[in-house]
């Protein structure tokens, strides 16, 4: 038997009496952790799996990243993880504090779907197979792909941290087969429709809709926008805050969400009208607040706007739909993908391509024609330079 691996035997196996083994109880692999003065053990059904785990575990011990597993239950670890995350002591993979809304969603998923089933299990005894069985059951019960993925997210975050801090040799969430969410259609409206909807919108809401359509701010960013962040002379809006339903003013969604967006003239006119129409325009006053320090609520705006648009024979519009529309306007205007990603406050350009790539120009034929034109131009330039050089040598 390989070093650090022993054959396991069932209670009735003859091998326990020194005879030939007649059972299939699997194998136990172990490594010694000098840091803890203990052995780290794990059992496997197959010898190959045991050898593979021991090789990985040995490397982790040598690198100082493997410790003896925690004896705490998943319920205990989840509770302390949530407490630390809510206090800002535990952060996401980008090193940023978790958003309050994210943690509320994590707590709900844990309380509703995960802890009723797994709370009493030791953290290191939960396997990928256990979690896969849970995922498969949720699918059979008809839960949507997005609900299932969101339910697993807090567990992924907990085990990611436990992998490095609780001495877990394996993260059971790594190889889960999760259902893919169907891509959602990005709903947009045409520029002329946007113009008609703005004209028909209640006067008190026009600047809000214009900012969503022509600057692409998120709902929370619109609620938190203050006059000090609006530069009417310079034609820019600085996004530095968002608004959480329970916590109030918070930092934007991600580090890249803090950005400066351009203000087209049509938006400047609407914001100027808004500034002239209200009494409180100090730097700290909310631009679209129900009061200078209390933000608007979407449902109130929707009720007023829907009624006005119905009278005008127009459809409905929602603030996130307006944000998608802003992206389509920028693409149609020829703004490159990297600039659009920055103006939208996306965490990466991949997010921009995933959402709006289908709106960007460029079929295969068009791409080939552009490449041919570029290569042809470069070759002609080189040939012209060569002919010019030959002519000069003759002279």
Q: Residue 81, exposed/middle/buried by CB under 10 A (0-12, 13-18, 19+)?
A: buried
- The C-alpha atoms of residue 241 and residue 249 are separated, in whole angstroms, by 6
- Quick: pLDDT tens for 96-127: 899 999 999 999 999 999 999 999 999 888 99
Contact call for residues 159 and 171 (beta carbons, < 8 A)? yes
Q: What angle do CA 368, 372, 377 make, to 5 degrees?
A: 150
CATH class for the region spanning 191-237+263-359:
mainly alpha
pTM over cut 0.75: no
Long-range CB contacts (within 8 A, 24+) of 347-352? 347/94, 347/254, 347/256, 348/256, 352/327
Q: How far is CA 273 from CA 54, 96, 110, in A?
A: 70, 37, 47
Contact call for residues 66 and 40 (beta carbons, < 8 A)? yes
Give the CB-side neighbour count of residue 272, counting CA atoms within 13 A.
12
Phi/psi region, residue 178 (left: phi>0; alpha: psi -120 to 50; beta: rest), is: beta
Q: How far is CA 308 from CA 35, 219, 303, in A?
A: 70, 21, 9
- The C-alpha atoms of residue 328 and residue 181 are separated, in whole angstroms, by 23
pLDDT under 50: residue ranges of the chain = none
Q: Is 112 helix (H, G, I), strand (E, B) or coil?
A: helix
For residue 378, what pLDDT is reported? 82
- The C-alpha atoms of residue 29 and residue 6 are separated, in whole angstroms, by 7
Contact call for residues 214 and 329 (beta carbons, < 8 A)? yes
- Quick: pLDDT tens for 64-93: 766 666 678 999 999 999 999 999 999 998
Q: What is the strand order of the sheet 27-33 is part of?
A: 5-7, 27-33, 38-44
The closest alpha carbon to 121, from 72, 165, 167, 162, belongs to 72
For residue 232, what pLDDT is reported? 95
Contact call for residues 170 and 65 (beta carbons, < 8 A)? no
Helix segments in the chain, DSSP class H = 47-63, 74-86, 100-109, 115-118, 128-140, 145-165, 191-200, 206-215, 219-224, 265-277, 298-311, 319-332, 337-344, 349-356, 364-394
- Reported residue count of the chain is 395
User: What is the DSSP-derived secondary structure letter of residue 201?
Assistant: S
- Looking only at the bridges linking them, the beta strands covering 27-33 and 236-239 are unpaired
- The C-alpha atoms of residue 238 and residue 258 are separated, in whole angstroms, by 8
The H or E element containing residue 249 is strand 248-250
């Amino acid at each position: 038997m390989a070093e650090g691996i022993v054959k396991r035997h069932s209670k009735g196996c003859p091998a326990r009496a020194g005879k030939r083994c007649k059972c299939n109880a699997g194998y136990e692999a172990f490594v010694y952790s000098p840091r803890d003065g203990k052995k780290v053990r794990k059992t496997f059904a197959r010898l190959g799996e045991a050898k593979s785990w021991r090789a990985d575990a040995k490397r982790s011990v040598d690198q100082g990243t493997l410790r003896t597993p925690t004896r705490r239950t998943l319920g205990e670890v989840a509770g302390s993880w949530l407490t630390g995350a809510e206090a800002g002591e535990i952060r996401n993979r980008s090193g940023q504090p978790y958003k309050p809304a994210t943690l509320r969603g994590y707590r709900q998923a844990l309380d509703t779907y995960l802890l009723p089933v797994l709370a009493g299990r030791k953290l290191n005894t939960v396997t990928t197979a256990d979690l896969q069985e849970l995922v498969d059951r949720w699918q059979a019960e008809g839960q949507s792909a997005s609900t299932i993925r969101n339910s697993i997210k807090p567990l992924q975050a907990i085990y990611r941290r436990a992998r490095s801090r609780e001495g877990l040799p394996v993260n059971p969430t790594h190889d889960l087969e999760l259902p893919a969410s169907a891509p959602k259609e990005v709903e947009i409206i045409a520029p002329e429709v946007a113009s008609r909807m703005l004209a028909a919108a209640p006067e008190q809401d026009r600047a809000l809709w214009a900012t969503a359509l022509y600057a692409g701010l998120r709902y929370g960013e619109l609620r938190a926008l203050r006059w000090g962040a609006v530069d009417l002379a310079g034609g820019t809006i600085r996004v530095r805050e968002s608004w959480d339903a329970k916590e109030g003013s918070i930092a934007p969604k991600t580090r890249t969400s803090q950005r400066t967006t351009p203000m087209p003239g049509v938006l400047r006119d609407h914001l100027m009208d808004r500034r002239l129409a209200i009494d409180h325009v100090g730097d700290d006053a909310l631009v679209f607040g129900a009061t200078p320090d209390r933000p608007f609520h979407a449902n109130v705006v929707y009720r007023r706007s829907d009624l006005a648009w119905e009278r005008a024979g127009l459809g409905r519009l929602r603030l996130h739909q307006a944000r998608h529309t802003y992206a389509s306007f920028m693409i149609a205007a020829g703004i490159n993908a990297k600039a659009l990603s920055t103006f939208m406050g996306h965490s990466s350009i991949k997010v921009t391509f995933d959402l709006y790539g289908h709106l960007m120009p460029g079929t295969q034929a068009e791409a080939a024609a552009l490449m041919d034109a570029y290569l042809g131009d470069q070759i002609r330039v080189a040939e012209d330079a060569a002919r010019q050089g030959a002519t000069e040598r003759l002279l």
